Amino acid sequence: MVRKNRLPKFPEDYLNDKVEEYDSSKWMERNQKRSTLYSLQYLIDKKLNDREDSGIEMGVSPLILDLGCGSGFSSVILIENGFRVIGIDILIDMLSKAREKKRIFKEYKALELILADINNLPIRVNSIDHIISISSYNFIIHGMENFGEKVKLINDTARYLHKTLKNNGRIIIEFYPKDEMELKMFNKSFINNGFSGFMVKQNPKQKSGQTYLLLKKKS
């Protein structure tokens, strides 16, 4: 059961009858939507600018990838804030719930949904304005024990995300690394593959837990 103050376990808390339980959790909905709103604030953070860049230009209906969109809590916030959204998730049960909402609720009509692995996205290069991921990015190494294999996978993923973004595209990752070593591993994968940026923690002294990576594609 998904309870307040307990992170869901992947993938068992996102399958079969657990999907309905997850999607009906008011605490989970509030938490996911709040994290998405924070991420949108970080997306336009001026500290990600550089001397040659006057700041982010949203334009008209920018296209954003919602990586690990689940049942759509984060996607609907992005739509309400003027984005065209492509929701990506590897779990068919979660994506089916998002598709059900798309059929029923007008807020979800603009949402495009794709069943895919974050590590292997069917997305054209230089086609995405920005990327956001709420509470799911660290799941890409689920089940992997070998450190070298983890490093290779997350570096390959960061490199491909860099290719999908347009020039000066930004990524906001909200996730829950299990310890300082895992956090550094993920952060380094982006810095070594064409991104600049920094991290934000709820508590600056924390070694794990909720963390935001604020990243910008370098030219």
Sketch the domain layout of the chain as residue ranges.
12-217
3-state secondary structure of 219: coil
The DSSP secondary-structure symbol of 85 reads E
pLDDT for 99-136, tens place per residue? Answer: 999 999 988 888 999 999 998 899 999 999 999 999 99
For tokens 């029923």, name the residue. 104
Distances (CA, A) of 112 to 49, 62, 108, 115, 143: 30, 14, 9, 10, 29
Q: What is the DSSP string of 14-65?
A: GSTHHHHHHHT-HHHHHHHHHHHHHHHHHHT-GGG--TT-------SS-EEE
Q: What is the DSSP string of 163-218?
A: HHEEEEEEEEEEE--SSHHHHHHHHHHHHTTTEEEEEEESSTT-SSSSEEEEEEE-
- Yes or no: say if 175 and 133 are a contact pair by the CB < 8 Å rule: yes
Paired strand residues for 212: 174, 200
pLDDT of residue 147: 95
pLDDT of residue 50: 67
Low-confidence ranges of the chain (pLDDT < 70): 1-8, 50-60, 207
Q: Which amino acid is at 23?
A: D
179 burial level (CB within 10 Å; 0-12, 13-18, 19+): exposed
Q: CATH number of the domain at 12-217, please?
A: 3.40.50.150
pLDDT of residue 68: 96
Average pLDDT, the chain: 89
Specify the pTM.
0.90
pLDDT of residue 61: 83
Residue 126 token pair: 């230089």
pLDDT for 186-202, tens place per residue? Answer: 999 999 999 999 999 87
155 burial level (CB within 10 Å; 0-12, 13-18, 19+): middle
Phi/psi of residue 150, nearest 5 degrees: -60, -45
